[in-house]
Structure 1
Amino acid sequence: MQHNKTYIYTYSHHEDEYDLCRLEMRALFQFDTDMNYLKSNLEVDPSRSPYIQDRLEVLYESNSIEDMQELVKDLLVTADSYKVVCLNTMNLGSTGKIHHPERRKIEREIGLCIDGEPELDRPDVVYGLILLENRWYFGKHTKSESVWRQHKHKPKSYSTALSTRVARSVVNIAVPAIENVKVIDPCCGIGTVVVEALSMGVNIVGRDISPLVCVGARENLTFFELDGKITKGPISEVQEHYDVAIIDMPYNIYSHVSPEEEYDIIYQARRIADRVVFITVDTIDHLLERAGFTIVDRGIAKKQQFERQVIVCK
């Protein structure tokens, strides 16, 4: 959702996730940065991303703590209680980490200037304070919740399935804005992508050619109390049209496909969806071009020596 407000997002990820994180940034915010924070006027739920740590809705900015103390005196706290947290818990761009004792001191200095009832343990509202490039920013703080972590412990899983973290990022890349968007995962396997999408409120259906896999995917949805539909059958039998399809191309010994079958999946995807995100171990650019797709963005999902390509197509 776009506002005339400014939001600051802080990021944290493993070095292997750099490329996929930037692909997700471009999808959610229309630009990326090599910094581990970004500013945008777009409001994104930080819990959607496996990489976002914090979101700060900026209310005041200043060049010094003393100036900020004066500014927050005008803050109208409508909640019963509040607390202030300093978000400089790591290096942010060229701004060094502020160590714990100094952060506590800054939080107290700002908190004492706010007209309200401070509550450290269970506040009704949390305000954040962050120093970036010698400038202070203060505002409403939202901490990301790692929802995807809970989904690691599903009753049915495959060793070759996408990790819940990668699956969540792929959903954001495929469906940056979820309102009024119809999505399908027509080769859904055990339902890793479907689980992440449904937990974000995405309107998605899953499908797989294997009846056993469909049973497992339904079991996973039930386990997480998610209301979703998994149907059985090949992608060629899909009649409905979708805004987006997400396809993790079959590649392991249990779901070996010939080049002709691989092309047919891509061709059918072109038929049933306006926009498709493919996850593939093999290079499929020539097949995408043959099917009439245009590649609009791409990235690499790495896990040590193993790499998957994530390709956004229209």
Structure 2
Amino acid sequence: MRAFFGFDRPGNILKSSIEIDPSRSPFMKERLEVLFSSGDWDGLLEQATGFVSHQSFKVTCLNSIAFDSTEKIHHPERRVLEREIGELIQGEADLNDPSVDYGFILFEDIWYFGIVRLSEPFWRYHLKKPHMYSTALSTRVARAVANIAVPHPEGIRAIDPCCGIGTVLVEARSMGIDMVGRDINPLVVLGSRKNLAYFDLEGEVKLGPIAEVKDTYDAAIIDMPYNLFTHISAEGQQGILTAARSITSKLVVVTIEPMDHMIKEAGFEIVDRCVAKKANFKRQIVVCV
């Protein structure tokens, strides 16, 4: 929420003027693009009377669950409201295969009407890759990390210089984020390239350490290497962070252990963080500038 919209809130609904495709996030269900609103139901109906749909449509009430202090509207009442407003819209209603889905919602005593954009779980297609290993980020977390690093992709160049088998890279490229990959392990570089190709995604993945990167990027993601397969010393971790400072103005670090002192020593300032949990296993996701 903070990466996309600049703020967060504890509830299950968020209102913003920033347009985000809900399919980018595993944690978004839908977006309502508001066309008009009113402080009462009759006012919403009055605006619907003059509304023309040039495509076949259906109308859905989105209050099937409670939104913060706004209580759920039960099924029979939702159907009545849908019929009432749908009959006022000028156009061809089609409940089975509409060209456009309209929706309305009551939230904090205001009625909103607009176009419903449902989230499509494209990330689920990436759950099974031809090349995987157990310590890689989950697909959902990888997608979230890519969004935290690059919430607004237009004109942004990014790099994952320790990309492993490309879990983050696949998610980033599938969302149109201009991200390249790199790793010092030739086997995982090959695996990363094959994973991208498997999902018909294009993206450069080079072999070599981060210290050899010559270009600069707007954002970088480092899932810090760990465990016996990719054992690295504290000096090696510090070297990666220090090298990152010279190639990017924004860094997202994924780590299983506190690294604040190393991050600061590398010249970064920590501006945000969160924790991703899987059973008893925790990863910190630290945003640095």
Band the TM-score falls in, shorter-chain normalisation: over 0.9
Give the equivalent residue in structure 1 for 2:86.
111
- Provide the rounded CA distance (Å) in 2 between the counterparts of 1:120 and 1:153: 35
Give the equivalent residue in structure 2 for 1:77.
53
Match of 2:36 among 49, 52, 60: 60
Give the equivalent residue in structure 1 for 2:234.
259
- Provide the rounded CA distance (Å) in 2 between the counterparts of 1:226 and 1:100: 42
- Unaligned regions of 5+ residues in structure 1, if any? 1-24
Deviations 1:145-169 (A, max 9, x none): 1111111121111121111111111
- Provide the rounded CA distance (Å) in 1 between the counterparts of 2:119 and 2:164: 28
- Unaligned regions of 5+ residues in structure 2, if any? none
1:172 Cα offset (Å):
1.1
Match of 1:135 among 88, 102, 110: 110
1:296 Cα offset (Å):
1.1
Secondary structure at the counterpart of residue 229 of structure 2: helix
Question: What amino acid is the match of 1:42?
Answer: I
- Taking only the aligned residue pairs, the percentage that are identical comes to 54
- Provide the rounded CA distance (Å) in 1 between the counterparts of 2:131 and 2:184: 17
Give the structure-1-normalised TM-score.
0.89
- Provide the rounded CA distance (Å) in 2 between the counterparts of 1:160 and 1:96: 42
1:205 Cα offset (Å):
0.4
1:276 aligned to 2:248? no
Secondary structure at the counterpart of residue 112 of structure 2: strand
- Aligned ranges 1:210-221 → 2 under 5 Å: 210-221=185-196
1:76 Cα offset (Å):
2.2
- Provide the rounded CA distance (Å) in 2 between the counterparts of 1:286 and 1:88: 47
1:196 aligned to 2:174? no
CA RMSD of aligned residues (A): 1.2
1:96 Cα offset (Å):
2.2
1:174 aligned to 2:149? yes
1:211 Cα offset (Å):
0.7
- Provide the rounded CA distance (Å) in 1 between the counterparts of 2:208 and 2:269: 27
- Provide the rounded CA distance (Å) in 2 between the counterparts of 1:242 and 1:62: 45
Match of 2:101 among 114, 119, 126: 126
- Provide the rounded CA distance (Å) in 1 between the counterparts of 2:76 and 2:228: 54
1:263 Cα offset (Å):
0.5
- Provide the rounded CA distance (Å) in 1 between the counterparts of 2:78 and 2:68: 18
1:183 aligned to 2:158? yes
Pick the structure with more strand per residue: 1
Secondary structure at the counterpart of residue 38 of structure 1: coil
- Provide the rounded CA distance (Å) in 1 between the counterparts of 2:29 and 2:214: 40
Give the equivalent residue in structure 2 for 1:208.
183
- Provide the rounded CA distance (Å) in 2 between the counterparts of 1:100 and 1:231: 55
